[in-house]
Amino acid sequence: MLKKLDIKIVILTICALVLSSYIGCRPKEADPSNAKPSAAEKKPAKKKKAKKPVAVIDTLAPTSVIARVNGEDITKGEFATWERMRVRAWAISKGWKPETVNAETRKFLLQNRARTLGELVKYTLIGQHARAKGIEPDAKEIAAQERKLLRLIKKPKASFADVAASLGEAEGKVFARMAREDALTMAVLVHSTSNDLYHVTAQEFTNRVEFVKKWNERTDATNAAVRARALQAKKEILAGAFFADVAKKYADFAPEDGEAWETFHLDEFDGDDPLGQWLARSDTGDISDPLDLDDGISIVGLKLKYESDISESNKPPVYAYEVVRCPFYAYERQDDFEGDRKAIEEDIIENRRQLAMKELHASLTKDAKIEFPCGNNLFYPRDKKNPKKKKAAPAKGEAKTAVAEPAKAAKEAPPAAKKASPPSVSAKEKKETK
């Protein structure tokens, strides 16, 4: 009896030891209140960067018809080439290389997209009118329009063929087409107005020359005083004053902490650009003499000069520059064309033509059928918001369900997409290339 009991006790003891050993080896359950956050939990969730709104026209295929003028199509591809040509021609007028892309060229593009499409529509209307009337452009007028375009991009002594080639193959052809279209416009104007659009009287020529002479004399005197102020500002900076303090004291634009410009790469400037010339021979800390820039006269300070990322190992280094400036208003001289009688007469005639063009455009658009198959808001983001659908009347037996669970239906419904705001575009445009 005792032996049997001892054996039972031994067996029970062994079982207890095995069980306790098993329990001790089991991993402890984590206490949520004492749990340490994982590495993934420590890091905040990355916020997705909001995508920049894309204009409708930039989502279309090159073959898409964006405008139709009396049944004649204008495609996205045609518009894009014309747009690139205008931006590159404008870059040349600024003293930059045609392919330059920076904040200013992007701004010019945004401000002039509607104008570019308007030009294509205008030339299409005039072309249709010319074909109907059997009107052709004159070779001499084409040459005159080529000279005019060269003056607009500030390359009056350059070869038209060379400038067109520098824009790119497709863009150069469009540049030449613009000269031809302007010549055709002139031919149409001659047939539609009684005003003399080719000749200037001796008195008109004399009046124009005298006006420009007096204007430029006043301009030179005023700008001389502005340069004197700019030189005084530079003198104070060289004497130890902070550039930003001097800029606040003297500048007409009242910049804060100087006016920071974006980084410039030297290859963005042609040799005749005053800012590019000064940067090329300057070092960090240098202060310029008064420079004649597009928006007036400025003294410029070079904050930093370094080798640009676009440099290539097997070529001379390309430098990037960070600058500040102190800007002053200045008067713009009237172009006297260096006394060139032919150029002066062409400019007088151009003013007459602009007035006649307004009248012609009004008459051509009066009865024209102009359509925009891809919508009227081509230069704004597409509205992604889904239109509201009309609720269908509930069938018999479904009315109670629809009324009983409105909250549940609202929770399950996906949120409506917010309408993307269009990019801000200033209404005020700088004087741009035609």
Domain boundaries, the chain: 56-192+337-366, 222-328
Confidence of residue 368 (pLDDT cuts 50, 70, 90): very high
Other C-beta atoms within 10 Å of 35: how many? 9
Average pLDDT over residues 270-295: 87
Residue 418 or 263, more confident: 263
Fold held by 56-192+337-366: Triger factor/SurA peptide-binding fold (1.10.4030)
Q: What is the pLDDT of residue 407?
A: 37
**How would residue 227 be classed by pLDDT, with cut points 50, 70 and 90?**
very high
pLDDT digits (tens, 9 = 90+) for 159-213: 999 999 999 999 999 999 999 999 999 899 988 888 788 789 999 999 999 999 9
Note the pLDDT of residue 433.
Answer: 38
Band of pLDDT at residue 422, cut at 50, 70 and 90: very low
Whether residue 231 has pLDDT greater than 90: yes
Give residue-wise pLDDT tens across range 71-114. Answer: 999 999 999 999 999 999 999 999 999 999 988 899 899 889 99
| Reported confidence tier of residue 2, pLDDT bands at 50, 70, 90 | very low
Q: How far apart are CA 109 and CA 267, in angstroms?
A: 21
Mean pLDDT along residues 53-70: 93
Q: How confident is the model at residue 271 (pLDDT cuts 50, 70, 90)?
A: low
**pLDDT for the residue 256:** 53
From 24-28, 79-83, 145-149, 380-384, the region with the lowest mean pLDDT? 24-28
Comparison of pLDDT for 405 and 396, the residue scoring more: 396
Cα–Cα dist 161/223, whole Å = 36
Residue 421 reports pLDDT greater than 70: no
| Cα–Cα–Cα angle for 44, 46, 50, rounded to 5 degrees | 145
> Strand 65-69 relative to strand 370-371: parallel, antiparallel, unpaired?
antiparallel
Task: Determine the straight-line distance between the first and last CA of the chain, rounded to whole angstroms.
Answer: 120
Closest CA to 306 of 323, 326, 331, 294: 323
pLDDT at 12 (0 to 100)? 53
Q: Is pLDDT at 52 greater than 50 in this prediction?
A: yes
Average per-residue pLDDT for the chain: 79
φ/ψ of 197, rounded to 5, equals: -105, 15
127: pLDDT strictly greater than 90: yes
pLDDT of residue 254: 65
